[in-house]
Amino acid sequence: MTRFEGEVVRLLNRFFEDNKIQAIAYRVKQSHFTSQVVDVLVDSPHREYYLAIECKSLTLSTGVKRLYFTQHFTTDKEGIHQIEKISQFIKKSGRTGLVVVELKGGRGHSNSMHVMCWEMVEQKYRSEEVGINIQDIKDMPDLRKSLEDGKWMFGCMEYNGE
């Protein structure tokens, strides 16, 4: 488990515990013989917390301009793009999909974790854009700040494509 994915799990579980919410976040283990669909799952009897979370990490000091669909997402040996696989999983499981993007600021700058609704990512992918602009990611809610404030404001279940 990467430090970033572990931090996502810890933040979510602390939020659930502090707010007495029946939910648990856990890292999906990857093995050599089985593929991992997403990085983090959240199980809960409450629909708004029944989640599938994909984690992506970008280092801004490298000059990256976007979260690229070809560079930062994979294609399996059958030629199926990671976005297609995750979309199928979300549809079949009934989970709400999120992408948490860690923006590493580099030496002397803090890192941030921004939350995007899966529907937005999928919509941009299907519109044949090459990726999601860094500024658009920065404009999304910050996971740490939101959960530390005791808020759950991602609103992905009401996402309308805007």
In a domain, 162, yes or no: no
> What pLDDT does 150 receive?
65
Distance separating alpha carbons of residues 96 and 117, to the nearest angstrom: 8
* pLDDT of 158 strictly over 50: no
CATH code for position 25:
3.40.1350.10
Mean pLDDT within 52-64: 92
What does 76-113 look like in DSSP terms, one character per residue? -TTS-BHHHHHHHHHHHHTPEEEEEEEEE--TTS--EE
Distance separating alpha carbons of residues 76 and 81, to the nearest angstrom: 7
> What pLDDT does 157 receive?
46
Number of domains into which the chain is organized? 1
pLDDT digits (tens, 9 = 90+) for 8-40: 999 999 999 998 999 999 998 766 566 689 999
In a domain, 159, yes or no: no
As a three-state string, the secondary structure of 130-158 is CEEEHHHHHCCCEHHHHHHCCCCCCCHHH
Band of residue 107 on the pLDDT scale cut at 50, 70, 90? confident
Mean pLDDT over the full length of the chain = 86
Mean pLDDT within 55-61: 92
> What pLDDT does 100 receive?
95
In a domain, 38, yes or no: yes
Band of residue 90 on the pLDDT scale cut at 50, 70, 90? very high
In a domain, 136, yes or no: yes
Model-wide pTM > 0.85: yes
In a domain, 104, yes or no: yes
Mean pLDDT within 60-79: 90
In a domain, 75, yes or no: yes
> What pLDDT does 32 receive?
58
The share of the chain scoring above pLDDT 70, in percent, equals 88
Q: What type of residue sits at position 59?
A: T
Domain extent, residue 59, equals: 3-152
How many beta carbons lie within 10 A of that of residue 85, not counting itself?
Answer: 19
pLDDT digits (tens, 9 = 90+) for 116-154: 999 999 999 999 889 999 999 999 988 888 887 766 655
In a domain, 10, yes or no: yes
Distance separating alpha carbons of residues 51 and 42, to the nearest angstrom: 5
In a domain, 157, yes or no: no
